Chains A and B, each alone.
Chain A
Amino acid sequence: MLAYLVKRVFQAIAVMLVISLVGFAIQDNLGDPLRELVGQSVSEEVRQELRDELGLNDSFLKQYTRFLGNALQGDLGTSYFFKEPALDVILKKLPATLELVLGATLIIVGLSVPLGVYTAIKPNTILSRLIMGISIVGISIPVFLTAILMIFVFSVEFGWLPSYGRGDVVTVFGHWDTNFATLDGWAHILLPSLALASIMLPLFVRLIRAEMMEVLQSEYVKYAKAKGIRPFRIYFVHALKNTLLPVITVGGVQIGTMVAYTILTETVFQWPGMGFMFLEAVNRVDTPLIVAYLIVVGFIFVLTNTVVDLIYGLVNPTVNLARMGA
């Protein structure tokens, strides 16, 4: 168990190192820190002096080690635009994005399991066909189009729900702004979460259905029937447990994908999160912020994948973590 954990953590660290290398390469090549510091009107001599002072003339390795050392201490540079530490800027936007992901995850988890199980158990009912039909339309509509459609219907046409921003947020635990404390906050997060969930939900319904149908064909399900076990127990104990194991693995990857999709939803709903900020940073060529975003998002990906792998190992009795560590 411990050996597996160590191995998995080492792999995570290796991936983070690669990401940091990419981040450093971007910082090294994109934009000119001197211009940001002193502007254009400084003589070449002063520039060279400054370059030396900032260590910009050091060897690649030396500069990278310095970058890495700073990053480990949480220093990812200072945003050109906000004139604040880049990491702080991002961490301020993080709650908005994570709450969006959380909202979408709740919708996905809450709906995909019952819908997937139902369509697997009763594949030929009208309702099942309807669900499967909607799901294939669902995966065929890009997130941003769903978002636009929702705004058009619920905000522009009916005026029921707000189309942009976070609305009333309440600060909890010191600096976490939450949408889930006020009615206005709920109203604001509903459409973006739905839009974000719109492509993942059908994907999961289809995945759960396919896995479940395969499991229902298995010998052990037939055997359970031959033992006279009730269908409810066969579906929800024998089959569902085996169905969800592969779904966990996919789910881990999809959480990461959802972070990517937040960029789209945040753009459409002008949701003040990391993704929205990132696109602004790109337009302003705010290199430290771009690099900081890359590293934070990379970290989220690596973290969720590692955690999901470990959870999978713990939940699945046939995976022997002790042996996998060897």
Chain B
Amino acid sequence: MSLLSVRDLTVKFAMRDNTVTALDNISFDLAKGERLGIVGESGAGKSITGFALMNLLSRPGFIDNGKILFEGEDIANMSDAQMRGIRGNRMAMIFQDPMVTLNPVLTIGQQMVETLMAHRKLSKAEAEQIAVVKLREVYIPSPEERLAQYPHELSGGMRQRIIIAMALLLDPELIIADEPTTALDVTIQADIMELLLELCQSNKVGLILITHDLGVVSQMTERTLVMYAGKIIEAGRTREIINDPQHPYTQGLINALPQQTKPGMRLKQIPGNMPSLTAIPAGCPFSPRCEYVRDHCRTTRPEPVQYAHVEVACHEVNRLHRENSEEQSA
């Protein structure tokens, strides 16, 4: 049985007089200890997926339909109390910006201890001991002293390490990390990612890494979902997706990477912008920007199909493949 199994998850936002679909029939699975990347531009629905998995969507967002089976139990229909027992305990989350994630008026120690005591019967001293052990695991120097410090006394990188330590406090089965390094200095981004990878591997924790950075995904994850306008448009093993992307959008993303471009050449960009959630085209959401577009793309929504080693939602994937291989052989 997989650790997490998402089926037809649909998330909507209640607007002034109608609703807007933010996640459209998302389905995917995650095995125990597996690391999955969710990539896409901002607004594609990556973060919403993360929060929906924690059942933490705040109004006006709500889960409209679908199942989120976590070890066989459906999170989407759980009571608040049941859900509380899972959050932070069996499923932990790492937020984007460590500067605003920790409560400014509580010490690091208080915030770690409360997490432990919310889920385990422990004395404060025992909880502090566990906290110190976990802080040491994320290479925080002199962890005992950190417990008495307030967040503002620590650097951003240090805070994100602490948040990673907090995620590991109760040995969860799954960690959801929502762009965990975007808010940090470039110089420490790689360190944090490496640490996260190391800890997930050594503790056999499942990871859902939400990012816009395909480079990060290729280093960190085994499988990848590519999202566009609230839909999964391509899913498969990370290696396959990076090396042989099938969907024109994914191809565009990879071609836009600086590594794919010779020095001195212009970076290739995908023309246009992702549609806003209120104005998603009727057919394939990518059709207005797609260079391979045909008439039926604009009217019929493509269903995901197995192609090569990936699952891809594109009507023209056959033709695309043919043209590409002709191009290469020519």
Task: Please give the residue numbers on chain A whose beta carbons come within 8 Å of chain B beta carbons, in ascending order.
Answer: 217-220, 222-231, 233, 237-238, 241-242, 245, 316-318
- Given known A219-B97, A228-B86, A230-B118, contact A242–B56 (CB-CB < 8 A): no
Across the interface, do A229 and B114 meet the contact criterion of CB distance under 8 Å?
Answer: yes
**CB-CB under 8 A for A318 and B56, given A220-B101, A226-B87, A229-B118:** no
Kindly list 20 other residue pairs between chains A and B, CB separation below 8 angstroms, not including A226-B93, A318-B105.
A217-B58, A219-B100, A220-B103, A222-B95, A225-B56, A226-B54, A226-B87, A227-B88, A227-B114, A227-B166, A228-B84, A228-B85, A228-B88, A228-B115, A230-B84, A237-B106, A237-B114, A238-B103, A241-B106, A245-B105
Q: Quick check: is B102 within 8 A (CB to CB) of the other chain?
A: yes
B80, closest chain A residue (CB): A231
**In the complex, chain B residues whose CB is within 8 Å of the CB of A238:** 103, 106
The answer to whether B152 and A228 touch across the interface, beta carbons within 8 angstroms, is no
Q: Contacts A225-B87, A229-B114 hold; do A218 and B100 have CB atoms under 8 A apart?
A: yes
Contacts A219-B100, A317-B105, A318-B150 given: A229-B95 contact, CB under 8 Å? no
CA distance A227 to B54 in the complex (A): 10
Chain B residue contacts of A225, Cβ below 8 A: 56, 87
User: B152 near A318 (CB under 8 angstroms)?
Assistant: yes
17 pairs of residues in contact across A and B, judged by CB atoms under 8 Å: A217-B58, A220-B102, A220-B104, A222-B56, A225-B87, A226-B56, A227-B87, A228-B84, A228-B88, A228-B119, A233-B114, A237-B106, A237-B114, A238-B103, A242-B105, A317-B105, A318-B104
Q: In the docked arrangement, what's the CA distance between A226 and B152, Å?
A: 21
B233 lies within 8 A of chain A by Cβ: no
Residues in chain A near residue B250, CB distance under 8 A: none
Please determine whether B118 and A223 come into contact, CB atoms closer than 8 angstroms. Answer: no
Closest to B112 in A: A227
Closest to A229 in B: B118
Output the least CB separation between B54 and chain A (Å). Answer: 6
Check if B118 sits within 8 Å of A227, measured CB to CB.
yes
Cα–Cα, bound, A241→B119 (Å): 23
Count chain B residues whose beta carbon lies closer than 8 angstroms to a beta carbon of A.
28
Residues of B within 8 A of A317 (CB): 104-105, 150, 152
Contact of A242 among B85, B104, B152 (CB under 8 A): B104
Q: In B65-123, which residues have CB < 8 Å from any A CB?
A: 80, 84-89, 92-93, 95, 97, 100-106, 114-115, 118-119
Alpha-carbon distance A120/B54, docked complex (angstroms): 24
Name, among B88, B102, B103, the residue most crowded by chain A CB atoms within 10 Å (CB to CB): B103
Task: Give the 8 A-B CB pairs with smallest separation, nearest first.
Answer: A227-B88, A228-B88, A228-B87, A226-B93, A220-B103, A219-B100, A317-B150, A227-B115
State which of A217, A218, A229, A237 has its C-beta within 8 Å of the C-beta of B115: A229
Query: For B103, what are the chain A residues with a Cβ–Cβ distance below 8 Å?
Result: 220, 223-224, 238, 242
CA–CA, A218 and B151, complex, Å:
15
Closest A residue to B99 by beta carbon equals A219
* Shortest Cβ distance from residue A177 to the other chain B in the assembled complex, whole angstroms: 41
Chain B residues with CB below 8 A from A227, complex form: 87-88, 92, 114-115, 118, 166
* In the complex, residue of chain B having the shortest beta-carbon distance to the beta carbon of A317: B150
By beta carbon, the residue of chain A nearest B81 is A230
Interface centre among B89, B92, B97, B118 (most CB of A within 10 A): B118
B127 to chain A, nearest CB (A): 13
Q: Are A241 and B114 in contact (CB under 8 A)?
A: no
Which chain A residue shows the least CB distance to B83? A228
In the complex the two chains form, what is the Cα distance from A229 to B95 in whole Å?
A: 16
Residues of chain A within 8 A (CB-CB) of B101 are: 219-220, 223
Q: Tell me whether A226 and B97 are in contact (CB under 8 A).
A: no
In the bound complex, CA of A220 to CA of B33 (Å): 28
Given contacts A218-B100, A219-B100, A220-B100, contact A226 B105 (CB under 8 A): no
Residues of A within 8 A of B118 (CB): 227-230, 233
Q: Nearest A residue to B93 by beta-carbon distance?
A: A226
Give Cα A225 to B106, complex, Å: 15
Residues of A within 8 A of B104 (CB): 220, 242, 317-318
Chain B residues with CB under 8 A of A233 = 114, 118
A241 to B105, CA, bound (A): 7
Cα A5 to Cα B114 with chains together (Å): 35
Give min CB distance, B177 to chain A, whole Å.
12
Instruction: Collect the chain A residues with CB atoms within 8 Å of residue B92's CB.
Output: 226-227
- Measured between beta carbons, the chain B residues less than 8 angstroms from A230 are 84, 118
CA distance A118 to B119 in the complex (A): 26
- Complex-state Cα separation, A242 to B104, whole angstroms: 8
What residues of A have a CB within 8 angstroms of the CB of B89 in the complex?
Answer: 228
Complex formed: what's the CA distance from A222 to B152 in Å?
A: 19
Which residues of the partner chain A approach B54 to less than 8 Å between Cβ atoms?
226
Chain A residues with CB under 8 A of B119: 228
Q: How far is the CB of A92 from chain B (nearest CB, A)?
A: 43
Q: How far is the CA of A245 from the CA of B86 in the complex (A)?
A: 32
Name the residue among B89, B114, B119 with the largest chain A CB count within 10 angstroms: B114
Given that A218-B100, A237-B106 are known contacts, is A223 also in contact with B95, CB under 8 Å in the complex? yes
- CA of A268 to CA of B241 in the docked complex: distance in angstroms? 80
Residues of A close to B166: CB separation below 8 A: 227
> Which residue, B88, B97, B102, has most C-beta atoms of chain A within 10 A?
B88
Residue of A nearest to B150 (CB): A317
- What residues of A have a CB within 8 angstroms of the CB of B85 in the complex? 228
User: Which residue of A has the minimal Cβ distance to B114?
Assistant: A229
Measured between alpha carbons, how far is A188 from B131 in the docked complex, in Å?
Answer: 56
Nearest CB in chain A: distance from B221 CB, A: 21
User: In the complex, what's the smallest C-beta–C-beta distance from A239 to chain B, in angstroms?
Assistant: 9
Residues 142-158 of chain B, each 1 if its beta carbon lies under 8 Å from chain A, else 0 = 00000000101000000
Which chain B residues border A224 with CB–CB below 8 Å? 103
Min CB distance B168 to A, Å, is 12
Shortest CB distance B250–A (Å): 30
CB-nearest residue of chain B relative to A240? B105
